[in-house]
Structure 1
Amino acid sequence: MRHVATSDRNFYDRYYFNVHDTSGGLMMLVGLGQYPNLGVTDAFAVVRRGPWHRVVRASRELGANRMDTRVGPFRVEVVEGLRTLRVVLDETEHGLSFDLTWDASIPAQLEPPHHIRWQERVVFDSRRLAQTGRWTGRIVLDGERIDVTPDAYWGSRDRSWGIRPVGEPEPPGIQVKNAGTFYWVYAPFQFEDHSVLCILQEDEKGRRLLEEAVRVYPDPEREPEHLGRLDYRPVYAEGTRDVVTATLGFHPPGGTPFEIGVTPVLPVHLMVGTGYGLEPDWKHGMYQGPETVVQGVAYDTRVPEDAARMWGMVDAVARYEYRDGSGRTGFGLFEYWALGPHPTLPE
């Protein structure tokens, strides 16, 4: 989008992908965004394997050609619209590269609008489409080639656009009085013959700001099943807001309520090093200068100083199990964050 309908500096347009094996041994997140009102495009990849959290990121001036998705060693190619995409990170000095093709398992689903006004300012006004899929290709990590095959490597992707905080810090003004809250769960996951897409956000009083739950089948002629009000019941590790297990409860209109259990297997801290807001010198849409910049950072979670960095939004590989005695088990993303007060959380 070259000229967008708003002059809000925070307008963005972004790809997001996750890649994980069904054993939970590896998870990688990839993003590529354009910020038309800031004149910047950037990209990142973060991979978690064992104790290592490794990030490669790049930024350049956006220019006029919005079809050029190259950002240094990164690029996204649309092979077949809404069906097949190729995601590439060429070899760099930072120990991570990949060439991966993503094939959709289900038709793309348009999620509800995400609109939040905080202290009179609109801070979120965005839309997103989401899909589950399978991966083919290769990942090279510290010289080791990992063959990626669709039987073992699943994932999901979204494409979002609109307004959300990006770029250089703004004067806080009244926002300094209260930074707000963020009680959130986002769970797109798949079984062999269908997928379930869940999204939920509540405010500090437990009021719902965003909510949807649908069951989607590969056949584009089959209507998605709306699963009614979503119940989200996490169990936290003592003294933390790290989710150990969770229950998702569904209430299909006119149907029988059911539950799916969630077990996070491998956490990835989405906000660490990737531009989502923790580093003052690298945020999505932040201008890094006239030349393309490519950086790499790596953390070892066995080191206390590095482990202390791991907070904020978590994108975990999770195992999902129907609690109906059928034994049906699936895998997918379990993204969660509980920031600030909420009725279900201790003071």
Structure 2
Amino acid sequence: MLSPMDDFPIHQIAEPIRRVGTSDRNFYDRYYFNCHPGLDADGEPLFLIIGLGQYPNLGVADAFAVLRHGDDHIVARASRALGSDRMDLTVGPLRIEVLEGLHRLRVVLEPAAETPDLSFDLVFESDVPASLEARHFHRQLERVTFDTQRFVQTGRWSGTLTVDGEAIPVTDDTWRGNRDRSWGVRPVGEAEPPGRRADSALAGEQSFFWIYTVMQFEEFSIIVMMQEDRRGRRIVEDATKVWADRNREPEWLGRPEHDLTFVSGTREVARGTLEFHRPGGYGKPDTILTVTCEPLLPHYLGVGTGYGLEQDWRHGMWQGDLVVQGLREKVPAIEPWKKMLCPVDNLTRFTLTEDGDTHVGSGLFEIAIIGPCDRYGFASVGDVAP
């Protein structure tokens, strides 16, 4: 079946554009945004995250917005049948408009009876060029579980955010955040039978260590990605400085290393240090750049949004032609196991010292340590920091 996109010269395979180049059920194509009022904002701390995905081989589109506002965790989520038009970026009351590709996008959550606590009309405008990250590829028992590509960029926000009936002005002088686009294959939809992966000998080896950091400074942004197995072997890594001056090329920072301390009784990061080791060349020492990371506000991204914690609402799961829901709970009431088994998107202060100058920035420190991790002494999925 054709769609309006077929009128553009953008085909990659000998199929209509709405058909992707693989029949893998887990193919996805999605947007992610985050938004905050700055590190020195008055009032209740606030961190908004928005996502929208299409799952062509499952016939589903879904979207969510999740707000950390003080101790409130507020979720608006929606799911619908995908339909034939991949350019339709609307899922119930939430929609995305690409105003200028790779630069300006509008994100809207219309007021709805199902989601009375939250609505917004916001425009993202980039302050650095979009940066293409390292391709993420991983196999498990010969099955390709991850084969994804993503680009990311930081920017400023403007518009209005309404919480509990109060309209909050969003102005680009202080409101910051980042957004990304990713696509490819990763686990989505209804859970598949695990098969041999359920074997206890293999299950004990399964782990997920992930750091994804987007640091926003005045003249540049730094993007860091690391995934490791339980022994610390790298599956993917990337560390890039992207300049606000679009005439300057992105700069590879070297191999990223991490040193984390945790909140006692949890796996949540209290403080972190990231080091970037760039080879100095023959006979010369490595160049080492260090950034300290001070998490200020943890946001439990997986709670209620579809990242796999709730078995009745997962990204790409069939919910019906159109379903819209709202959820709300207090952060202290979120079950500890949920906090441990989901990515935590921390609003974070970053401090970088380079060539005698100190730079302070803000942004995302996303962390997930699920299962065993030898580096930090977690021998099983239930272990926590002393």
Among 339, 345, 354, the alignment partner of 1:310 is 339
Residues 123-172 of structure 1: CA distance to partner in whole angstroms, max 9, x if unpaired? Answer: 10100011111111111011011111122211111100000000011112
C-alpha deviation, 1:175, in angstroms: 1.8
Identity across matched positions, percent: 51
1:152-171 matches, within 5 Å, as 152-171=174-193
Residues 77-108 of structure 1: CA distance to partner in whole angstroms, max 9, x if unpaired? Answer: 00100000001100013210000000011111
CA distance in 2, matches of 1:284, 1:323: 40
User: Which residue of 1 is the match for residue 349 of structure 2?
Assistant: 319
Q: Is the 8 A contact 1:132 1:155 kept in 2?
A: yes
User: Which residue of 1 is the match for residue 85 of structure 2?
Assistant: 65
Q: Which is higher, the Rg of structure 1 or of structure 2?
A: 2
The answer on 1:137 being equivalent to 2:159 is: yes
SS in 1 for 2:96: strand
CA distance in 2, matches of 1:197, 1:67: 28
Q: Is the 8 A contact 1:301 1:307 kept in 2?
A: no
User: Which residue of 2 is the match for residue 260 of structure 1?
Assistant: 291
The answer on 1:113 being equivalent to 2:128 is: no
CA distance in 2, matches of 1:104, 1:96: 24
Select between 111-120 and 5-14 the one with higher mean Cα deviation.
111-120
Distance of aligned partners of 1:202 and 1:306 in 2 relative to their CA distance in 1, 3 Å threshold: closer
Which amino acid letter does the alignment assign opposite residue 180 of structure 2? D
Q: Is the 8 A contact 2:309 2:338 kept in 1?
A: no
Which amino acid letter does the alignment assign opposite residue 292 of structure 2? G
C-alpha deviation, 1:116, in angstroms: 0.8
Distance of aligned partners of 1:13 and 1:165 in 2 relative to their CA distance in 1, 3 Å threshold: same
Among 24, 40, 53, the alignment partner of 2:60 is 40
User: Which residue of 1 is the match for residue 38 of structure 2?
Assistant: 22
C-alpha deviation, 1:306, in angstroms: 5.1
Select between 109-118 and 175-184 the one with higher mean Cα deviation.
175-184
CA distance in 2, matches of 1:235, 1:222: 35
Among 94, 98, 104, the alignment partner of 1:84 is 104
Distance of aligned partners of 1:335 and 1:91 in 2 relative to their CA distance in 1, 3 Å threshold: same
Q: Is the 8 A contact 1:299 1:306 kept in 2?
A: no
CA distance in 2, matches of 1:199, 1:50: 28
Which amino acid letter does the alignment assign opposite residue 6 of structure 1? T
Which amino acid letter does the alignment assign opposite residue 125 of structure 1? D
CA distance in 2, matches of 1:256, 1:148: 39
User: Which residue of 1 is the match for residue 3 of structure 2?
Assistant: none
Among 244, 256, 268, the alignment partner of 1:218 is 244
User: Which residue of 1 is the match for residue 121 of structure 2?
Assistant: 99
Among 286, 301, 311, the alignment partner of 1:280 is 311
CA distance in 2, matches of 1:302, 1:228: 39
Indicate the RMSD between aligned Cα atoms, in angstroms: 1.5
Structure 1 length-normalised TM: 0.96
User: Which residue of 2 is the match for residue 298 of structure 1?
Assistant: 328
The answer on 1:333 being equivalent to 2:355 is: no
C-alpha deviation, 1:252, in angstroms: 3.1
Select between 325-334 and 138-147 the one with higher mean Cα deviation.
325-334
CA distance in 2, matches of 1:219, 1:10: 37
Q: Is the 8 A contact 1:261 1:323 kept in 2?
A: no
CA distance in 2, matches of 1:307, 1:117: 30
Which amino acid letter does the alignment assign opposite residue 27 of structure 2? F
Q: Where does the alignment leave 5 or more consecutive residues of structure 2 unmatched?
A: 1-16, 281-285, 380-386
SS in 1 for 2:196: helix
Q: Where does the alignment leave 5 or more consecutive residues of structure 1 unmatched?
A: none
The answer on 1:11 being equivalent to 2:27 is: yes
C-alpha deviation, 1:110, in angstroms: 0.7
SS in 1 for 2:91: coil
Select between 337-346 and 311-320 the one with higher mean Cα deviation.
337-346
Which amino acid letter does the alignment assign opposite residue 45 of structure 1? A
SS in 1 for 2:255: coil
SS in 2 for 1:249: strand
